[in-house]
Amino acid sequence: MAGSSDFDLYRPREEHDLLREAIRALATDKIAPRAAEIDETHEFPHDVLAALTASDFHAIHVPEEYGGAGGDALAACIVIEEVARVCASSSLIPAVNKLGSMPLILAGSEEIKQAYLPRLARGEGMFSYALSEPGAGSDAGGMTTKAVRDGDDWVLDGAKRWITNAGVSEYYTVMVLTDPEKRTHGGITAFVVEKGDEGFSFGAPERKLGIQGSPTRELYFDNVRIPDSRRIGEVGEGFAIAMQTLDHTRVTIGAQAVGIAQGALDAAAAYAKERSQFGKAIAEFQGIQFMLADMAMKLEAARQLVYVAAAKSERNDADLTFFGAAAKCFASDAAMEITTDAVQVLGGYGYVKDYPVERMMRDAKITQIYEGTNQVQRIVMARKLLEQY
């Protein structure tokens, strides 16, 4: 079995270890000192974007033939994990760049890939992903935003909601109705909309529990005219492209959750060794030791599931849908538990903003919700499981 098992296909290689060292150094030096301020001011960290771009960490997944670093799925997870370890808001830069551009990589024509992927790789603009609407969240088929063909163009009307990095990103992959009768069965098509397109605008930033440095806004389309060359895939393939994209990118949300949880465990363990009560460090009390042990156990289980799913993403395995959902679901549930326990370890100090764990607990919550709630992930897993019987 040695040398031929799946373990060889997902265990980090030397290049991944070197990548981790590099991104951890950048995160520690450039991002960690800014994390609390980013959370407090609710401002997008343009300086962090610049630092990530300078090192090709902003969109490491872009293939080399389009000017990117050509990082595999595990490399993307490592970057997101290490940035999330210090600042979840900042980790959404590489995560959402992958989410927004993955439809082009999976289904775009060579023309549209050449038009946008090199720009993303050069850091000329970020990509966002627009599927959800005010009345269509888990039920994507309930969308009402539409595109009507007009000669060689399409005219878009409607609104999208919960769009990460909206207003900052230059490019938006948007799923819209092109046949209201067919809907998810061939009635949805994907397009690229650019920030400067006439009739395209943004709502006010949402007031959120966490990820405060990543703007979440509505997108408004008022007779937005775009050429057919900006269509991703064939007409009617949009829903399939959207779901295929999420199979891959849910793995990165699992990586983000792992990073947040790792940051919380680091803070809790360090505090437990420094904080004294009853004449000794609280780390010497078995109750605290058991909490830390459980946190570490859940974290490592989550990390290994994410890495396995990353390997399956890279190979586009037939069971990726199950593993992508499982990695996202398990890791985000674990992150919520671990960050909550980290607050408990710190006690009253964990509840105040002088320490990072309350921010990490707030940031962890969204990982259970976006890119499909964990209830939806369980539906996805159950369907795939029952197909085998």
Judge contact between 242 and 174, C-beta under 8 A. Answer: no
313 phi, psi to nearest 5 deg: -65, -45
The tokens for 128 are 């966002």
Based on the residue annotation, tell me whether 371 is a catalytic residue of this protein. Answer: yes
Active-site residue, from 284, 300, 371, 387: 371
Cα–Cα dist 200/218, whole Å: 11
Residue 278 CB burial class (10 angstroms; 0-12, 13-18, ≥19): exposed
Cβ-based burial of 11 (10 A; exposed 0-12, middle 13-18, buried ≥19): middle
Residues catalogued as catalytic: 371
